[in-house]
């Protein structure tokens, strides 16, 4: 403890101690007054021309905007370059999103109202960190990811309803339609594709929701079933942009399901569905096939018929078999017809790194580089036990979201987010070259922004250039990482 002295002496001592920094009472006082505890502040954004969003396979970074300065320059570089060329334009893009199954709608609709509203904003708007989903696929009647099997015109055994007087979309008014209305309020331009898993059982050869095929005498009735569906949804304020005549027409084993061979779908579209739409002044697109890439002959059978082709907008594909290049095969045969990618599941439990790599490479990059106008993942939400699903439906389909006591985001959420947030409807694919271990795809948005999605499919970090208009910017992706670059 310092002893007390008179005022003039202590003043002199204080000056000396302050100047020379000697130890003692003055130093103790100085430390207390002038050495504060550091307090971390907010991250200061760097100035950058290229915005960079990253997901890492080891799950340390989930779709996060990186605070890195990426600015174009004329600097020389020895790294390989991804050259983006906006003068070479390919197909226009409809969007990226999910199947909004009946089960997904049920889980979202039964959240507390504020949590539900916040989640829908996150999913269907693009502000902040929201992901801007702009394309949905819904089932016409039940899919296998509904809790129960139903159509819009179920009848008792041995009864029929050829005038469709019993037709009603009432089963969808509890969850699906309310959620769709909320989504449309957030994103009025969202595109919606409808696909049936089965016709009503009374129209089928086996009188069952599972398997069987559509009886020829009911082709006209079933065409009118589609017309009534589109009109009923329109009355609810929901525009169906496109339909497929049958989900997975070569798979009669799901519940519900229905087989529809290529010749049967050709007849149905050419002589019944197309004319019914025309008569009712329905402009909803007809997209054929809607199954795996291993049978491109199926859609080509329909497109080879000139009369059927007049009613068809394009063909839809899944990738549980075959190669994604099948889309280009069909496109090259009929370049005036569109191709779409409408379904791919993630099996639970997910291998995050492996699923991220495969889906980004084959779908977000692969399907788009093979002329697809969209990419849809299966499906938007499931509970922790992969429910709801029908008896015999998919029991291990992992949603983009898991909704239980809380909401968690799974790998397909991030797969879609890397495209949907930045590539809005009306964007176009533009040219970009592939360099070793770095598959990629590039877009230009209606606002003129450039978007480049890059996957490092190797196990080691890769440094590369992005070259645009003669200038470069250099970036690095760790092994297995996905980056979206926007400028």
pLDDT for residue 473? 98
How far is it, in rounded angstroms, from Cα 245 to Cα 299? 12
Is the Cβ–Cβ distance between 260 and 301 less than 8 Å? no
What burial letters (b/e) apply to 412-446, b meaning 16+ CB within 10 Å? bbbbbbbbbbbbbbebbbbebeebebbbbbbbbbe
343 is catalytic: yes
Q: How confident is the model at residue 43 (pLDDT cuts 50, 70, 90)?
A: confident
Q: Under a CB-based contact definition with an 8 Å cutoff, are residues 212 and 200 in contact?
A: no
Name the average pLDDT for the chain. Answer: 93
Distance, in Å, from the CA atom of 136 to the CA atom of 466, rounded to the nearest integer, reads 32
- Per-residue model confidence as pLDDT tens digits over 276-303: 999 999 999 999 999 999 999 999 999 9
Residues 6+ apart with CB under 8 A from 325: 293, 370
Distance CA 79, CA 2 (A): 67
Q: Is the pLDDT of residue 42 over 50?
A: yes
CA 200 – CA 171 distance, rounded (Å): 14
Q: Is the bond preceding 256 in cis, omega lying within 30 degrees of 0?
A: yes
Q: Residue 18 pLDDT more than 70? A: no
pLDDT band for position 44 (cuts 50, 70, 90): confident
The predicted pLDDT at position 41 comes to 59
Give 54 or 27, the one with higher predicted confidence: 54
> Radius of gyration (Cα) for the chain, nearest Å?
29
Q: Does pLDDT of 402 surpass 70?
A: yes
120 closest CA partner among 177, 185, 172: 185
pLDDT, tens only, 240-276: 999 999 999 999 999 999 999 999 999 999 999 999 9
Average pLDDT (72-90) is 97
Q: What is the largest CA-CA distance in the chain?
A: 116
Closest CA to 50 of 476, 473, 439, 418: 473
What CATH homologous superfamily does 51-88+433-486 map to?
Golgi alpha-mannosidase II (2.60.40.1180)
pLDDT of residue 210: 98
19 pLDDT higher than 50 = no
- Bridge partners (DSSP) of residue 482 are 55, 455
Q: Work out the percent of the chain whose per-residue pLDDT is above 90.
A: 90
Q: What pLDDT, on a 0 to 100 scale, did the predictor assign at position 366?
A: 98
- Residue 79 and residue 167: Cα distance in Å, rounded? 63
- What's residue 141's pLDDT? 98
Strand 51-55 vs strand 64-65: parallel, antiparallel, or unpaired? antiparallel
Q: What are phi and psi of 316, to 5 degrees?
A: -120, 150
Pick the catalytic residue from 58, 170, 264, 343. 343
C-alpha torsion 58→130→388→158, nearest 10? -130
Residue 21's pLDDT is what? Answer: 41
Reading the block at residue 23, the tokens are 């130890």
**SS3 assignment, position 346:** coil
- 388 upstream amide cis, omega within 30 of 0: yes
* Region for residue 260 given its phi and psi (left: phi exceeds 0; alpha: psi -120 to 50; beta: otherwise): beta
What would the DSSP string read from start to end of 127-138?
STT-----EEEE
- State the pLDDT confidence band at 38, using cuts at 50, 70 and 90: low
Across 408-416, average pLDDT: 98
Task: Categorize the per-residue pLDDT at 40 as very low, low, confident or very high, splitting at 50, 70 and 90.
Answer: low
Average pLDDT over residues 340-350: 98
Whether the per-residue pLDDT at 32 is higher than 80: the answer is no
What are the sequence ranges of the domains in the chain? 1-35, 51-88+433-486, 94-425
* Residue 9: count of CB within 10 angstroms of its CB: 9
Q: Rounded CA gap, 181 and 178, in Å? A: 5
Reported residue count of the chain is: 487
485: pLDDT strictly greater than 60: yes
125 pLDDT higher than 80: yes
* Confidence at 406, pLDDT banded by 50, 70, 90: very high
Q: Which of 122, 248, 259, 457 is catalytic?
A: 248
Specify whether the CB–CB gap between 389 and 397 falls below 8 A. yes
Distance separating the N- and C-terminal Cα atoms of the chain: 64
Helices (H), 284-380: 297-303, 306-309, 326-333, 352-359, 368-369
Annotation marks residue 43 as catalytic: no
Token pair belonging to 473: 């910017």
Separation of alpha carbons 410 and 317, rounded Å: 23
| Residue 8, pLDDT score | 39
Name the 3-class secondary structure at 54: strand
Contact 134, 420 (CB under 8 A): yes
Q: Which two tokens stand for residue 344?
A: 């791919």
Using CA atoms, how far apart are residues 405 and 414, in angstroms rounded to an integer? 21
Spatial separation of the C-alpha atoms in residues 342 and 397, rounded to whole Å: 16
The CATH number that domain 94-425 falls under is 3.20.20.80
Facing residues of 476 across strands? Answer: 463
């Amino acid at each position: 403890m310092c002893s007390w002295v008179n005022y003039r002496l202590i003043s002199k001592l204080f000056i000396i101690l302050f100047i020379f920094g000697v130890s003692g009472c003055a130093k103790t006082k100085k430390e207390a007054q002038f050495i504060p505890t550091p307090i971390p502040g907010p991250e200061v954004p760097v100035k950058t021309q290229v915005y960079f969003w990253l997901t890492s396979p080891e799950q340390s970074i989930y779709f996060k905007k990186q605070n890195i300065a990426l600015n174009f320059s004329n600097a020389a570089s020895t790294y390989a370059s991804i050259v983006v060329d906006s003068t070479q334009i390919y197909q226009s893009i409809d969007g990226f999103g999910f199947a909004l199954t009946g089960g997904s709608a049920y889980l979202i609709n039964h959240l507390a109202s504020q949590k539900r509203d916040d989640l829908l904003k996150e999913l269907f708007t693009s502000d902040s960190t929201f992901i801007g989903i702009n394309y949905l696929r819904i089932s016409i009647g039940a899919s296998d990811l509904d809790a129960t099997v139903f159509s819009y015109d179920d009848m008792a055994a041995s009864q029929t309803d050829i005038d469709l007087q019993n037709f009603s979309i009432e089963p969808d008014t509890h969850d699906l339609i309310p959620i769709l209305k909320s989504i449309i309020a957030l994103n009025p331009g969202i595109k919606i594709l409808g696909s049936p898993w089965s016709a009503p059982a009374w129209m089928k050869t086996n009188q069952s929701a599972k398997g069987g095929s559509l009886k020829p005498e009911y082709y006209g009735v079933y065409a009118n079933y589609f017309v009534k569906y589109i009109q009923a949804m329109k009355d609810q304020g929901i525009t169906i942009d496109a339909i497929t005549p049958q989900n997975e027409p070569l798979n009669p084993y799901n519940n519900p399901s229905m087989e529809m061979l290529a010749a049967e779908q050709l007849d149905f579209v050419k002589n019944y569905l197309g004319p019914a739409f025309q008569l009712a002044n329905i402009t909803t697109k007809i997209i054929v096939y809607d199954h795996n890439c291993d049978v491109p002959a199926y859609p080509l059978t329909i497109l080879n018929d000139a009369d059927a082709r007049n009613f068809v907008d394009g063909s839809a594909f899944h990738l549980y078999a075959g190669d994604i290049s099948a889309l280009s095969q069909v496109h090259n045969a009929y370049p005036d017809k569109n191709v779409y990618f409408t379904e791919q599941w993630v099996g639970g439990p997910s291998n995050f790194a492996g699923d991220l790599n495969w889906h980004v490479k084959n779908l977000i990059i692969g399907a788009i580089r093979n002329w697809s106008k969209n990419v849809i993942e299966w499906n938007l939400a499931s509970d922790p036990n992969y429910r709801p699903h029908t008896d015999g439906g998919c029991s291990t389909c992992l949603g983009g979201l898991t909704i239980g006591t809380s909401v968690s985001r799974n790998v397909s959420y991030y797969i879609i987010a890397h495209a949907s947030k930045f590539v809005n409807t009306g964007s176009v694919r533009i040219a970009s070259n592939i360099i070793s271990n770095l598959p990629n795809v590039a877009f230009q948005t209606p606002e003129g922004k450039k978007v480049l999605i890059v996957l490092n499919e190797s196990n080691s970090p890769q440094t590369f250039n992005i070259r645009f208009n003669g200038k470069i910017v250099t970036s690095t992706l760790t092994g297995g990482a996905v980056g979206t670059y926007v400028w």
